[in-house]
Amino acid sequence: MLEKPLGSLRCCPSRQEAPSVPARSSMALQGIRVLEFAGLAPGPLCGMILADFGAQVMTVDRLGPGNPMWMARGKRSLALDLKQPKGAAVMRRLSRQMDVLVEPFRPGVMEKFGLGPEVLQKDNPKLIYARLSGFGQCGRLSKVAGHDINCLALSGVLSKLGRSSEIPYAPLNLLADFGGGGLTCALGIVLALYECTQSGKGQVIDANMVEGTAYLSSFLWQSRNAGLWSQPRGKNVLDGGAPFYETYRTSDGKFMAVGAIEPQFYALLINGLGLNCDELPDQLSISDWEEMKKKFADKFAEKTQAEWCKIFDGTDACVTPVVNLEEAALNEHNRERGSFITDEDHNVSPRPAPLLSRTPAVPSTKRNPLKGEHTEEILQEFGFSKEEINQLYLDKIIETSKLKASL
């Protein structure tokens, strides 16, 4: 099956043009070889980003039951017992031929396997060794357990999230796991790969979810003295306090998102709602915001989401429908851009971003791999003989899985 997204990779091609899909051999990270140690959310996203943009990513999975193979698009899977010296020896041998290694463990785990950066970079001085963790490679919390919400809390960001009358809440596990963790780690890897072209040397990347999330929130820190956050949480312009930066329920139980911050956009919002600016308080009168929210809510409740879309579509009022995942993939604008792709199992997911003009990502449309599905293939590719592979099976160092045929 041709590995391409549905629709063109070009931005808004004319309807008469045939889709132009670059070959996978022309992608930005083509030729980069990556070992990704299996883990939870952030690591798999980091590896998938690299694979989407052309890297050859091999996931190192544990033997036996493991984590679901999410975000495994474009990867191959090798099942290996690293707790056995022979398994660690296999990994050390593979690492000599790699450009990047991504590990998601707590500090010291890879060293226990004999696979720390000091060892592997001695074998391969150009190796980029990415360490993706919750709290970093040092510090009093570096070796304790934690998840997205804990890292979000320690970054300071969680204190800013939530309604004024409610406790702080985490917006799914997107910010720390994927933004501060996986995406920031991928950025570090690309930076280190570029630097390696200048120096010929690899380096160790300490990517952690606390600092990555804090870095994402730089705007919060650098705007603290500008008056944007002078009110308590949930009472400011951008955190749900302002009536012109809020979501509202429509008559059919759906929602509209409003972001009419600038005066000219706010005027268009007021006009679309059928209100008169001259009869309303000043837009930035904080004492009137709660009353204005009620007024806007009453207006939005008078019409369906579709009716409001007709009113605001094509205007600069900054009013858009709140759509679910299925609706996002079907949205006319997103369809025009080819923003979502469909794999051979008919699963829909976002197209890799950003869109590069000459060497865009051409993500695989094949199904996700089974754990250990490519164990033999990878080992043979990197110089292991059939006899060596058979012995690894006998020693229970590796295992493989094959897709069962449907009868």
Residue 184 and residue 215 in contact, taking contact as beta carbons nearer than 8 Å: yes
Q: CA dist 175 to 103, 132, 178, Å?
A: 20, 15, 6
Task: Report the alpha-carbon distance of residue 106 to residue 128 in Å, rounded.
Answer: 18
Upstream peptide bond of 354 is cis (omega within 30 degrees of 0): yes
At a CB cut-off of 8 Å and minimum separation 6, what does 113 contact? 82, 83, 88, 91
- Residue 210 CB coordination number (10 Å): 25
Task: Report the alpha-carbon distance of residue 84 to residue 73 in Å, rounded.
Answer: 29
* Chain centre to alpha carbon of residue 44: 9
Place of tokens 């549905």: 6
Task: Report the alpha-carbon distance of residue 295 to residue 293 in Å, rounded.
Answer: 5
The terminus-to-terminus CA distance of the chain in angstroms comes to 21
Strands (E), 177-328: 204-208, 245-249, 255-259, 319-321
Question: Is residue 147 annotated as part of the catalytic site, yes or no?
Answer: yes
Residue 141 and residue 74 in contact, taking contact as beta carbons nearer than 8 Å: no
Q: How many residues does the chain have?
A: 407
DSSP string, 327-359: HHHH-HHHHHHT-EEE-TT--EEEPPSS--SSS
Q: Which of 99, 177, 239, 343 is catalytic?
A: 177
Task: Report the alpha-carbon distance of residue 185 to residue 160 in Å, rounded.
Answer: 24
- Nearest-CA neighbor of 68 among 348, 351, 374, 368? 368
* Chain centre to alpha carbon of residue 405: 33
Q: Determine the Cα angle at 334 with ends 4 and 44, to 5°.
A: 55
At a CB cut-off of 8 Å and minimum separation 6, what does 161 contact? 152, 168, 169, 170, 171, 233, 239
Q: What residues act catalytically?
A: 147, 177
